[in-house]
Structure 1
Amino acid sequence: MFHTARRAFLGLTLLALTACADAKAVTDETPLVNLGDFSFGHNVVVAKDAQKAAFSRTATEEEIETALKSAMQARLGRYDGDKLYHIGIKVDAYGLAAPGIPVLFTPKSVFVLSVNVWDDSQAKKLTDKPKLLTVFEGASGATLVGSGLTRTKEEQLEILSRNAAMKVERWLQENGQWFGVDPVEAESSDADEARAALEVLAPEAASEVANGN
């Protein structure tokens, strides 16, 4: 029981990466951020061989790819800078909180993504290595007891995809030099993202790391 509680506590600690609230659907009133000369080119999402997290509903590759591509286009397709940039996303893992899971785990939906960016004009990849992003559902009354009890699979995918697109947008801001503008301060470190991803991909290993083993 102690081991289980420790794992649950670790999971809740890593959820510090969670946004305070889920990203809302993009509308004409949704503000743009400063992305300089950015204009969205190819929108590539690949979910083949994505690992399904424990306590997750099952989603097909097509369902995940469609939801993510739609959210990415809605958020980043609004920018009309002078240069095209292509974004490729590999879905390494996903979790869609299932109903009927003990409250101790309070499972939230999650994506683990590897993201790359290409500058079309230079025919050059800007990312030396894929950027790891771990994206959770936001904290709300709908997720305090696990969103599997309050949201359908389709709702989870839609909300999680919107959160992912907003996190990618923020990461682009953190690399503003690519687009000719000053970068903003990073919200989380690579180590933070990796620890959160490890909890999804290998929870036992994450528990050992947290315990100092």
Structure 2
Amino acid sequence: MLSFTRRVFLGLSLLALTACSDAKEITEDTPLVDLGDFALGHNVVVATDAQKAPFSRNATEEELETALKAAMQARFGRYDGDKLYHIGIKVDAYGLAAPGIPVLFTPKSVLVLTVNIWDDSKGEKLTEKPKLLTVFESLNGHTLVGSGLTRTREEQLDILTRNAALKVERWLLENGQWFGVEPIAPESSDAEEAKAALEVLAPEAVEQPTISN
């Protein structure tokens, strides 16, 4: 069976993605977006056999599942629409930038997810195929060459999972027709999401530009 990174790589060519800013913790003042009749039903996260990125700190399946499930519940448990929708997430890969890695490797903290959603009232899955999402920490003065020196493993995972929940929310907005609202324009293509994952998990497989004399 092909590894996750090989399956992502086949037939895909795209631009890298960069997060603009890290998602803040959810509070009672955090605004809701218009998700129509959405209310969160089952919140399922599975991290079985998640691939560990090169130069990453360790995280257990339970740690990945617990952190992401909590971030999803915090963001989506606030919605009180008239219909239940179930969200299922598979953590395909993760990376928590380790300290002491040469700048040459520019380690990035990342989560690579595949997401599905079900309409409870219709008893059907709305996603024809799982949606691939690649989630990073934002780039700033502290994380430009990796956050391993400035953030703990737990802080990295907390930020990544908050960013992941925010990115899932954005994806739902891009499919607003599911919830009876007007969809917004996609932020990235499936190809861009895949290459962003590949550049972290298997950078040697990504074709680099040739510099002429």
Give your verdict on TM over 0.5: yes
Equivalence for 2:62: 62
Equivalence for 1:33: 33
Cα distance in 2 between the residues matched to 1:141 and 1:30: 26
Shift in Å, 1:103: 1.7
Deviates more, 1:138-147 or 1:52-61: 138-147
**Contact preservation (8 Å) 2:89, 2:114:** yes
Equivalence for 1:196: 196
Cα distance in 1 between the residues matched to 2:205 and 2:172: 30
Shift in Å, 1:199: 2.0
Q: Does 1:50 align with 2:61?
A: no
State the SS of the aligned residue for 2:135.
strand
Gaps of 5+ in 1: 1-12
> Could you give the per-residue CA deviations for residues 78-131 of structure 1, whole angstroms, max 9, x where no partner exists?
100000000000000000000001123332200000000000000100000000
Cα distance in 2 between the residues matched to 1:206 and 1:145: 19
Cα distance in 1 between the residues matched to 2:91 and 2:78: 23
Mapping for residues 161-200 of structure 1, pairs under 5 Å: 161-200=161-200
More helix by share: 1
1:27 partner letter = T
RMSD: 1.3
2:36 partner letter = G
Cα distance in 2 between the residues matched to 1:168 and 1:197: 16
1:159 partner letter = I
State the SS of the aligned residue for 2:206.
helix
**Contact preservation (8 Å) 2:142, 2:150:** yes
Equivalence for 1:10: none
Gaps of 5+ in 2: 1-14
**Contact preservation (8 Å) 2:107, 2:200:** no
State the SS of the aligned residue for 1:20.
coil
Cα distance in 2 between the residues matched to 1:75 and 1:172: 12
State the SS of the aligned residue for 2:158.
helix
Instruction: Give runs of ≥4 in structure 1 deviating > 3 Å.
Output: none
Could you tell me the percent identity over the aligned residues?
Answer: 78
Cα distance in 2 between the residues matched to 1:66 and 1:74: 12
2:159 partner letter = I
Equivalence for 2:157: 157
State the SS of the aligned residue for 1:149.
coil
> Could you give the per-residue CA deviations for residues 117-157 of structure 1, whole angstroms, max 9, x where no partner exists?
00000010000000000000011222123100000000000
**Contact preservation (8 Å) 2:173, 2:183:** yes
> Could you give the per-residue CA deviations for residues 11-68 of structure 1, whole angstroms, max 9, x where no partner exists?
xx62xx2221110101111111110000011000000000000010010000000110
Q: TM-score, normalized by length of structure 1?
A: 0.88
Q: How many residues align?
A: 196
Shift in Å, 1:205: 1.8
Cα distance in 2 between the residues matched to 1:25 and 1:90: 22
State the SS of the aligned residue for 2:58.
coil
Shift in Å, 1:74: 0.4
